[in-house]
Amino acid sequence: MMRNYTILLVFFLGSLQIFAQDSTSTFKKRVLEGTEIDFLGSYYSQDGNNAAVTGGLGTEKLTDAAPTVVVSIPINDDDVLTIDAGISAYTSASSSNIDPFDTNYADPFTASSGASSSDTWANVTGSYSHSNDDRNRIVSGKVSFSNEYDYTSIGFGGSYTWLFNEKNTEFTLHGNVYLDTWKIIYPYELRPYAQNRTFTYQNAASLGYAPAFRELTEKGRNSYSLGLNFSQILTERLQGSLLVDLVLQQGLLSTPFQRVYFQDFQDFFIDDFQLADDIEHLPDSRLKTAVGGRLNYYLNQTFVLRSYYRFYRDDWGIVSHTASLEVPVKLNDKFTVYPSYRYYQQSAADYFAPYNTHLSSEEYYTSDFDLSDFQANQYGIGINYTDIFTSLKIGSMGLKTIDLKYDYYQRDSGLHANIITFGLGFTEN
């Protein structure tokens, strides 16, 4: 399979080189004057009491740190190669309870200390873009690879951008394919039943523990997305855009280690931890559609209003609305602060029910509160420094931008999170 991916990559880059050969000897400004390097990072911390790993009841405590570097290299006047590489290292009290019995006392609200309590996700993406001579056509493509302990993903994508009406109108068509493979990890107490054995810890099976465990039959998941963006400068102060996205997912869409408890089954505990009746089971196909728009208004030299709305629907029964407003305030020619607010509301998936309320007669079930009915608010404040003359230099690189932002996220289910993001942008002089 890897050989096929390599052939596709060589064919893809070769095709882009063919596009690159439309250059003429006439003068034109380079798409990218010099190499640019961006160092990005984020820190995320959350807590709550509805962990999906423990069937909708248990700690959701999680921290994640994710540094990323993005390098953009001009190949010639028209072409740019971009390499994006990052890692994400997290610790999770929730996922640590995939095996809750490696501590002295098992409890869904207490972190365990096993291997599943932390993991590292790594990703690298390479993209290549070509602009034609009048800069009104841009074709680009990318390949990506990401991996963590139980999950591997390979992706391909591309886009075509068309600018016209003296660049006041922009139209972009983009598509992506992701081919993912899971390593199946079941909750600790269910693993023996996948091998036609019983769970013998503290004599559980002999005392009456008998789950309704159904094994998963697939390990792969494929995702296909197609999107359209239309942007228009409406007046000197007003600019708007429309967005349409379609995503089809097929294969393993259940998470193998997320427990489900049935109300028509006897509850069975070891310490304060309830043993699973089964794992989450969801359909093997999901079609998502989203339509949205942006409207930006330049109020004056100090204030800009940036608004956004998106409507989402999928065939699992979820309907959601997202609205946000950001108000950049320019303090001087280099510093801008930008407070922001985001509101989100969604209905529950057809297959969701909270802790201990599903029935064993159902075909599909989950107690993952990400699929529940909830509302969320997110408040943010950021500050940006931009120096187009890059007066501060490190070697041949000049510092162009510094960006720092803090967000506070809160759901009405009790989940809350703190998010810090930052970025440093350098450009070659």
Whole-angstrom Cα distance, residue 79 to residue 347? 44
Of the chain, the end-to-end C-alpha distance in Å amounts to: 42
Q: Residue 287 corresponds to which amino acid?
A: L
**pLDDT for res 27:** 67
CA angle, 117 as apex, 112 and 118 as ends, to 5°?
160
Residue 266's identity, in one-letter code, is Q
Q: Which residue, chain included where needed, has tokens 């931890």?
A: 273
Measured distance CA(188)–CA(79) in Å, rounded? 51
The domain made up of 36-428 has a fold known as Porin (2.40.160)
Strand partners, 279: 259
Amino acid at 398: G
Give the residue from 215, 214, 206, 210 showing the smallest Cα distance to 266.
Answer: 210
CB 226 within 8 A of CB 246: yes
Q: Which residues of 200-211 are buried (b: 16+ CB within 10 A; e: fewer)?
A: eeeebbeeebeb
| Residue 135, both tokens | 């800069």
Whether 425 and 400 have beta carbons less than 8 Å apart is answered as yes
- Report pLDDT for 16: 44
Of 86, 56, 55, give the one whose Cα is nearest residue 69.
86
Q: Number of helices (H) and strands (E), helices first, in the chain? A: 2, 22
Q: What is the mean pLDDT of each successive set of 10 residues along the chain, which is 429 residues long?
A: 44 44 60 95 97 96 96 96 95 90 88 80 97 95 95 97 95 98 95 94 92 94 98 96 98 97 96 97 98 97 97 98 98 97 98 97 97 98 94 90 98 97 94
- 30 residue type, one letter: R
What pLDDT score does 395 carry?
86
Do residues 257 and 214 make contact, with C-beta atoms less than 8 angstroms apart? no
Cα–Cα distance measured from residue 191 to residue 380, given in angstroms and rounded to the nearest whole number: 43
Query: Has this prediction a pTM greater than 0.95?
Result: no
pLDDT at site 308: 98
What is residue 346's predicted lDDT score, i.e. its pLDDT? 98
Range 310-346 burial, b when 16+ CB lie within 10 A, else e: bebebebebeeebebebebebeeeeebebebebebeb
d(CA 292, CA 121): 30
Dihedral over Cα of 94, 263, 316, 346: its sign: negative
